[in-house]
Structure 1
Amino acid sequence: MKNNHISVLKKSILALSISFSLSVAAQANEFQVAKVAKPNFQHVNLTLDPAKENFSGSTTIELEVLKKTKFIELSGRDYTAQLIKLIGDENCDLTAAMLETHKVRLECEHEIKPGSYTLNIDFTAPFNKQSVGLYKTIDKELPYLFTQFEMSDARRAFPVFDEPSYKIPFQLTITAPKDQKVYANTPELKTVVVGDMTTHYFDKTPPIPSYLVALAVGPFVETKVEGMPIEGRIITSKEKQKLAKYAADEMPAILATLEDYFGIPYPYKKLDSVGVPEFPFGAMENAGLVTYREDILLVDNKNSSQNAKQTSVSVVAHELAHQWYGNLVTMKWWNDLWLNEAFASWMAAKVTHKLHPEFGSDLSLPQNNVMAMDARLSTKPIRKPIKTEDDIMDGLGLAYSKGSAVLSMVENWIGEEAFKKGIQAYMKEFAFKNASASDLWNALAKTSGKDVPSVLKSFIEQSSFPLVAVKQDGKTISLSQSRFANKGVDAPAQLWSVPVTIKYGRGDEVKEAKVLLNSDSAKIELDFEPQWIYPDANAMGYYRWVLEDKQLDTLLANAADVLSVRERRAFISASDALLDAGLMSGGNLLKTLGQFIEDAHPRVVSMALGYIQSQKSVFIDESNEDVWAKFITKKAQNALEKYGVTAKKGEEAAISKLRPQLISLLAFEGKDKTIINLAKKESAQYIKDTTKVDPYTAGTYLEIAAYYGDKKQLTSFTKAFETTQDPQARTNLLMALSYFGNEHLQLQTLDYMMTDKITASDMRYIMSGHTYKKTRKARFQNWVYTNYDALSKKLPPFSLPHLPSYTGSGCDAKDLKVTQDFFKAKLDETPAFGRTLSKLEESVNDCIRLKSRELASVNQFLKQL
């Protein structure tokens, strides 16, 4: 383990280089600045030239010293500071000590009395190259500067109290070459030109936390957004401006819908949206200056798939929802980040469905993405203690999906109107302030008259979820709950407050019965004795359920007629979970999934096929590989014969979304030569003109062509990737590059990933397909181990801890052991590997136990086909 040196230089000049490394020995309170002072306002003055590798700046922080002290702490990383001076009743030239927790302790020779002071610091720093902090990127040979400060990377750009509870006004002044456009959170007040440089003076922000401060510098062009109550622009490079229209057209309706829901006007003076060519996330909700990965913001309305349009609308709605939830009202500490992201995800789904019901976003089931992970013993609650950024990133995806699903369950339980009134009251009470989760829970309880805190607390502050067992005796339904756990896992007992909604029917009569299951068991008296029961009406619950065998068989037999599309999709997921819990055999699960592949709705077919693929990854071995391929190929072939290889004019989007999945299965599982040749032909056409290929199938055809391709194919793909101005095409090509099947070409793409042609934020895309097929995964593993030093330096810092998941996931104990041996040796320098390895070990062992338990049942089913 490397420890940072503590350097103290008195009075005049402090040379302070804040290192990347952290000490793992720090205690909880050591990761927060000492509460001896608090900021009230900060001005940041930066001189930025994208053509250079470094920048300089100064900052003035108006602060209040809260008690007698000889030091003040703030956050800092990667910069070198000079001339640190505290001005007040008594002035002090401060010296600085760098701590091991990305903090800087500024010390005075004499005691500082409580009162108001001004802290002045001059500094210099390098532009970051890993897509965090204030970072530089090159797009088509032109340099740009962008910021990504969440979670705690504002401290890389300037000295700051970098914690969400320090919510203050910021004001930026930026000097840049006069041929560059400059943007910040607020409108520009004036500019002053001196020689080749222009100084841009920006308005003061309302109180915001430091992670929402943002700027962008580069040769941009603007597309005005019409129809909003405030000024708004889509900011892009000149070549991509033609793709800004879709977002510009959609944004006013999204903003109006949110203003209506919250009952509060948009809280900032402008709303700029920036298409960023190098971006580590999908988007970032910076107040007044929202940044997006280009392939999300910039959509070709005429030639893009509904998938791309839905993603764009949903992500824009997510980020704009944050302008109220997260920005206007901000968490006190990162332990409530789950609520920021959960609420924005939940709100985005609501807005998207309202504005575009044709997207079918109401059929999405976010809980399906995370419940298997949530069930593991190594998974922590989504509201948990936070010390470091690694703690924040741990399980962040779970926070989005579980949190939004739980909010949907609560809204369904208390009613939409009561939920909306609670949100509006919460927003008005805490506007421009900080709040905690309990503040929202109490607001919802007040407007609904229901015990909302007990429900939310039980789901948010505990990991996992309940398994609700349902038994019928005439008109009486008996419910019992226990913690859901994979079979063979000794999980501790837990109790939830579970809003359960039973859907039941007989003949043409269908009703619902609701109960809050807040004890081990409960009973419900129905209005009549049902023929069938579905224990999660409209699939709104964050729980799994199990019926007695007879009732389950009856429900399955009637599912196509009595369950909605959303409920049928949830039935598939619930059945898969019952296999994990040991409550359904592998053969019976495959039989159930096979039935749903014959469903009338393409979204149900797609989900069933996806789960079959998932089970294949568990149960495949040398003895049954051919049978699996025939089983899956036959199911895909039947569906493709029904819907066709090419799109029909006017077909519903759900069919268009299913088709690439069917084509992929036939090419990769069935090795269908007709499909493979078609993929090569369509890929060649796509390289020439992306508008001439079905946007739904384009990415799939590229992946197939890559897997069965040669050197010429690779050259064609890399050339197209480096020259295209279409962000969608760029992402499609990135992912396709990860699928080359030939050994030499696969290794060549991995080496290409390490060149400056691939940005840090692009790496997860070009790494995505290398684990397909055992031999390719083995080559990829060896390459990662051999090239680890360079790889670890290029990956974004928050991505590095997840690297073991690429090499050790699956159902192979040997792969797990090699991965553990390699990454355990790196724990001193990257302690967060420990979390990933723990989760990986549990996942792999669960898979091995499942395969051992159910392989015979699966093989018996496959042999009968």
Structure 2
Amino acid sequence: MFGKVLSLKVHLGRIWSISATVSIATLSPLTATAAPLPQTVTPLHYDLVLKPDLKGLTFSGDEKIDILVRAATKEIVLNAFRLDIRQVSLRTQSGLDLGNIQSRFDERDQTMHLALQSAIKPGRYRLLFAYHGSIQQNGSGLFALDEQGKRYLFTQLEPADARRLMPSWDEPSFKATFTLSTVVPSGSTAISNTPVTSDRTLDDALHRVTFAPTRKMSTYLLFLAVGDFERRVRVAGGVELGTVTRRGVAPQADFALDSAAKLLPWFNAYFAYRFPLPKLDNVAGPGESLTYGAMENWGAIFSFEQDFLIDPRAASERQRQRVFTTVAHEMAHQWFGDLVTMRWWDDLWLNEGFASWMEQEAGRRFHPEWSAALAFMRGRDLAMDADALDTSHPVVQPVKDAAEALQSFDFITYFKGEAAIRMLEAYVGPQAWQAGLRTYVARHAYGNATSADLWASMRAASGRPVDAIAHDITRMAGLPMVEASAVCSNGRMLVSLTEKRFHNDGRNDPGPGWHLPVFLGHPGVTPQLVVLDRAAQVSISGCGPIIVNAGQKSYFRTDYSPPMLSDLSKIFPKLDEIDQLALLSDTAALGLAGTATPAAMFELIANLGPNSSATTVSDALSRWDKLNGYAEGDDQGRLRLRDFAETAFLPRLSRLGWAARPGESAEDANLRDHLIATLGGAGVPAVIEEARREFARTNGPMPSLPILTAVSRNATPAEWERIRTMALEETSPQIRASLFEMLGRTHDDALATRALELSITDAPGETTGPRIIEAVSVLHPLEALRFAIAHRQTILQRLDSFSAPTFLADLASGGHDQETLSAVQAYCLGEQASEVKDACATSEALIQGRIRVRRAQMPILYSWLAARG
């Protein structure tokens, strides 16, 4: 699954009271515990017939499950949740009915217990069910999305919503095969994991579609889509690749189809294991989720349209990159996740970390014009920010039930997992790493695996002792930091390295002790490798600047001594791009933590020359924007920061111009958009004035999204109203959702209130309404949370399983004052679910950090800016 927001956000926030009494447990399907099932009975094959009622938002199911009884038992336990079971029976292989069965449901564990009249012997049997269920409208289970008067059905079953669709052994280790049939309205198309084997008309209103049996797979990978679809097909690597879209927008998926056709043969070769299914569809649906953009269903990937289609009116290089990344991520899952699946959710990183890593490898291979370094570093920064909190957790974390599994889809699982893979690949070498992966995939195909299985394959392939490094980076919580100092002696640099744990509040902590591969040396020279265990001294030939963690192959922050940092600052524009990004990242983090001056990052930015890479400038702009967020409410501070931005970034926008130039690079195109949106949004006069001129034109095409972003942040009531009208009249779901989100990102208090009121009307749609509230929380978190609490039941019913438990706490996660902190603490007192409490703890930690930064670090930065005039 490709996460868009996951569980942490980087914005500001506040809160008020808790007057609503609806608990998340009554609305979210996975806040109850769901204990792992006994192994006494296991499924072999599911034969499922689904009959959805699209108007009534219900469905009926008829199911046959071939099971294997491994030991004599009088009880069968499997998962079922919010299903109305009308009939259940158990038969022998020869068809003999074994008599009455007493059913008992455990709502808390989301299980169904079938008590048999007498114990049955080991062997094969068949369970039969007839039941009814509900179609959701919130992006989980079997759910409906409406667009332009038409209704579409899709499934989203990860991590444990298959139990809402059918009685099943809804855990990843219970792999089985599936045969799915569905009875749907005439004229509609049905898509599933496998090709259609029959399509039979039942009457004038209905037809029955049956799909070929699947390969052995976990329940959460089963997929069904129903609607008025258009399918385009291409063959690559002997596989039929398809894109499935709403009728009329199929050309917008051509870039995705082209990408898939390039990626499939490459994945086949990389893993030395051909994609084993006859077809692979990419299915696009309207709407959106706050927390996921796509899902890797085997043979039938699902993506929301904004992560898959390229609308020509909003096309940009960044959108092309987004679509390619989504396709690459989900296709990588076809091997890591689908063919080989983690045994239990504590090893979710085996799915998500690897897919995140492979999407970057694919980008480097097929689109070198995009900066893979920037994408990787931004993901790594998100992981490091989360890892620097006391609420951090290991990459491989204990998960006791499905509720905890939901909260595992976060920055640490995705991006620290990706960084761990990058580090281990660098340690064993790319060829050995690839050989180990090929062995791992071949050995565990159609089965389940653990991290230990992967390390065994890596040991065998490389002959290197990977276990200590792998164990420490994946099973120890917290962010490593390496303190570095150096002296020149007899023509050599003597570098001292000391390992610590980095905290966002700058406290001194020796940490648990990691085994860290450290690559260090002079810029432009092949680095030396040392495996750091607490402390080390390294001798490097030649005196001069030293880069620690050259190429950013390892996962840690570097705290350079002042002389080392000064040496690197002088040659900053000449460093490799990825090392420039790392130096910006580390100096920013250390400055915010108070272990270094927050001005150190600004010194680096000031040293950027006019020919600095667009990637580095874009990253520097993002870091400036984050500091600008800390100045919210401080008019004098914001003016000083704005003056710095005018000097540091405005000349680059002047050079690029406001219109695309023939033959310009992808990085320049992305940087232009970033500069317009960020500087305009911050109110830099030259940018916002030009953006307003473009916006005021009534003839010609719609202004670009960056221009609209700049205007919406500073919108007058008349400008806000025009954007609202544009959103209401827009026919493209992608553009419409972006416009509605912009309405929430306004500085104006009264307009933010209007956006909140709009969010719970029918205008934005079920799935976009919460996005508006989240947008408001960026600049008005207290108001957003007050509103969400007051309309809690309405809002939570619109959220999917991933979003609902943490949504309210996340709204306040960027607060920066005591009022916010007190309000979040008051809200959290009324919550009992563990995943809500975890979100509350993270929100509190982030708010406390911002309060500290605003009090202790921002005045230092303001003084530095004032001294520069």
What TM-score results when the alignment is normalised by the length of structure 2? 0.90
Deviations 1:61-85 (A, max 9, x none): 1112222322111111121011111
Q: Which letter maps to 1:39?
A: P
User: Is the CA contact (8 Å cut-off) linking 1:785 and 1:822 kept in structure 2?
Assistant: no
User: AA paired with 2:335?
Assistant: W
Residue of structure 2 equivalent to 1:630: 643
Shift of 1:109: 3.2
The alpha-carbon deviation at position 431 of structure 1 amounts to 0.8
Contact 1:477 1:524 in 2 (8 A): yes
CA distance 1:859–1:764, change in 2 (3 Å): same
Looking at structure 2, the residues matched to 359 and 131 of structure 1 have their Cα atoms a distance apart, in angstroms, of 31
Q: Which residue in 2 is equivalent to 1:411?
A: 425
Over residues 120-175 of structure 1, what are the superposed CA-to-partner deviations in whole Å (9 max), with x where a residue is unaligned?
01001111121100011111110111000011111111111100001110110111
Corresponding residue for 2:4?
Answer: none
Pair 1:41 & 2:53 matched: no
Offset of residue 652 of structure 1: 2.1
- How far apart, CA to CA, are the structure 2 residues paired with 1:233 and 1:665? 37
Give the 3-state SS of the residue equivalent to 1:264 in structure 2: coil
Once the two structures are overlaid, the 10-residue window that deviates more, 170-179 or 655-664, is 655-664
Contact 1:633 1:670 in 2 (8 A): no
Structure 2: give runs of 5+ residues left out of the alignment: 1-24
2:222 is aligned with what amino acid?
V
**C-alpha distance in 2 between matches for 1:314 and 1:569:** 21
> What residue is the counterpart of 1:73 in the other structure?
77
Q: Write the distance in 2 (CA, Å) between the matches of 1:243 and 1:605.
A: 31
User: Is the contact made by 1:594 and 1:608 (CA closer than 8 Å) also made in structure 2?
Assistant: no
Query: Secondary structure at 1:770's aligned position in 2?
Result: helix
Is 1:820 the equivalent of 2:835?
no
C-alpha separation in 2, matches of 1:781 and 1:430: 46
C-alpha change, 1:641 and 1:718, in structure 2 (3 Å) is closer
Match of 1:372 in 2: 385
Deviation of residue 421 (structure 1)?
A: 0.5
Pick aligned residue for 2:104 from 86, 92, 97: 97
Task: Give 2:551's aligned amino acid.
Answer: N
Deviation of residue 388 (structure 1)? 3.1
**1:166-190: CA deviations, max 9, x gaps?**
1110110111112111111111111
Residues 340-389 of structure 1, C-alpha deviations (whole Å, 9 max, x = no match):
00001101111121011112224431212220210111111121111233
Q: Which moved more, 1:316-325 or 1:112-121?
A: 112-121
For 1:538, the equivalent position in structure 2 comes to 551
Task: State the alpha-carbon separation in 2 of the partners of residues 81 and 155 from structure 1.
Answer: 12
Give the aligned residue type for 2:595. L
Does residue 732 of the first structure (1) align with residue 738 of the second (2)? yes
C-alpha separation in 2, matches of 1:683 and 1:74: 57
Which residue of 2 is the match for residue 325 of structure 1? 336
Corresponding residue to 2:799 among 795, 798, 801: 795
Which structure has the higher relative contact order (CA within 8 Å, separation 6+)?
2
Q: Kindly report the root-mean-square deviation, in angstroms, between the aligned alpha carbons of the 2 structures.
A: 2.6
Asked whether the equivalents of residues 503 and 511 of structure 1 are also in contact (C-alpha less than 8 Å), the reply is yes
Determine the C-alpha separation between the residues in 2 that align with 1:22 and 1:240: 33
Match of 1:833 among 823, 831, 836: 836
Residue 90 of structure 1: CA displacement?
6.6
Deviation for aligned residue 1:558: 1.5
**How many residues in Structure 1 have an aligned counterpart in Structure 2?**
830
Which of residues 555, 580, 584 in structure 1 aligns to 2:596? 584
Q: Using the TM superposition, give the Cα deviation of residue 659 of structure 1 relative to its aligned residue in structure 2, in angstroms.
A: 2.1
Describe how 1:391-430 pairs up with structure 2 within 5 A.
Answer: 391-395=404-408, 396-430=410-444
The 5 Å alignment of 1:114-513 reads 114-195=122-203, 196-280=205-289, 281-300=292-311, 304-364=315-375, 365=377, 366-395=379-408, 396-473=410-487, 474=489, 475=492, 476-487=494-505, 489=507, 491=509, 493-504=511-522, 510-513=525-528
Amino acid at match of 1:225: R
Deviation of the 1:707 alpha carbon = 3.7
Mapping for residues 580-659 of structure 1, pairs under 5 Å: 580-596=592-608, 600-618=612-630, 621=634, 624-659=637-672
Q: Percent identity?
A: 25
Matched to 2:705, the amino acid is G
| DSSP 3-state at the match of 1:514 | strand
Q: Is the contact between residue 129 and residue 137 of structure 1 (CA under 8 Å) also seen in structure 2?
A: yes
Q: How far did residue 243 of structure 1 move? A: 1.0
The Cα offsets for residues 318-359 of structure 1, whole Å up to 9 and x where unpaired, read as 111111111111111111111200001101111121011112
C-alpha displacement of 1:253: 0.8
Amino acid aligned to 1:863? A
Aligned partner of 1:552 in structure 2 is 565
Q: Is the 8 A contact 2:67 2:126 kept in 1?
A: yes
The CA distance in 2 between the partners of 1:142 and 1:684, in whole Å, is: 34
1:805 aligns with 2:810: yes
1:2-21 superposed Cα distances (whole Å, 9 cap, x missing partner): xxxxxxxxxxxxxxxx9757
Q: Tell me, yes or no, if the aligned pair for 1:273 and 1:290 is still in contact at 8 Å.
A: yes
1:300 deviation in Å? 4.6
SS in 1 for 2:527: strand
- The alpha-carbon distance between structure 1 residues 744 and 581, as it changes in their structure 2 partners (threshold 3 A), is closer
Secondary structure (helix, strand or coil) at the match of 2:248 reads helix
2:309 and 2:547 map into 1 onto residues whose CA distance is 42
Work out whether 1:32 is the aligned partner of 2:32.
no
1: CA distance between counterparts of 2:449 and 2:113?
Answer: 28
Distance 2:611 2:543 in 1: 24
> C-alpha separation between the residues in 2 aligned to 1:859 and 1:449?
53
**Aligned partners of 1:259 and 1:265 also within 8 Å:** yes
| Counterparts of 1:702 and 1:850, CA distance in 2 | 31
Cα distance change, pair 492–134 in 1 and its aligned pair in 2 (3 A): farther
Distance 1:545 1:714, change over 3 A: closer
> Does the Cα contact within 8 Å between 1:597 and 1:606 map onto a contact in 2?
no
2: distance between equivalents of 1:639 and 1:466? 35
Report the Cα distance in structure 2 between the residues aligned to 1:650 and 1:438, rounded to whole angstroms.
49
Higher mean Cα deviation, 207-216 or 379-388? 379-388
Q: Secondary structure at the match of 2:522?
A: strand
Aligned counterparts of 2:656 and 2:180: Cα–Cα separation in 1:
56
Q: Which of residues 119, 132, 136 in structure 2 aligns to 1:111?
A: 119
Gapped runs of 5+ residues in structure 1?
Answer: 1-17
Report the CA distance between 1:751 and its aligned residue.
2.3
1:156 partner amino acid: R
Residue 341 of structure 2 aligns to a residue in which SS?
Answer: strand
Say if 2:525 is the partner of 1:514.
Answer: no
1:458-477 C-alpha deviation (Å, 9 max, x unpaired): 01111123211223243333
> Hey, what does 2:855 align to over in structure 1?
852
2:194 is paired with a residue whose SS is coil
Residues 432 and 622 from structure 1, CA distance in 2 versus in 1: closer, same or farther, beyond 3 angstroms?
same
Displacement of 1:240: 0.8
Change (3 A) 1:22 1:734: closer
TM-score (norm 1): 0.91
Which whole-Å CA distance do the structure 2 matches of 1:341 and 1:855 have between them?
36
Aligned AA (1:445): R
One-letter identity of the residue aligned with 1:576 = A
Question: Which stretch of structure 1 is more off in the superposition, 360-369 or 591-600?
Answer: 591-600
CA contact (8 A) 1:57 1:124 kept: yes
Matched residue of 1:510: which SS? coil
Note the alpha carbon deviations across 1:734-787, whole angstroms, 9 max, x for none: 3212224444433232222212343444345323431344xx444333322322
Distance 1:256 1:21, change over 3 A: closer
Q: Secondary structure at the match of 2:231?
A: strand
Distance 1:451 1:553, change over 3 A: same
How much has 1:569 moved relative to structure 2?
A: 1.0
- Pair 1:66–1:600, CA change in 2 (3 A): same
- For 1:379, give the aligned amino acid: S
- 2 CA distance for matches of 1:83 and 1:47? 16
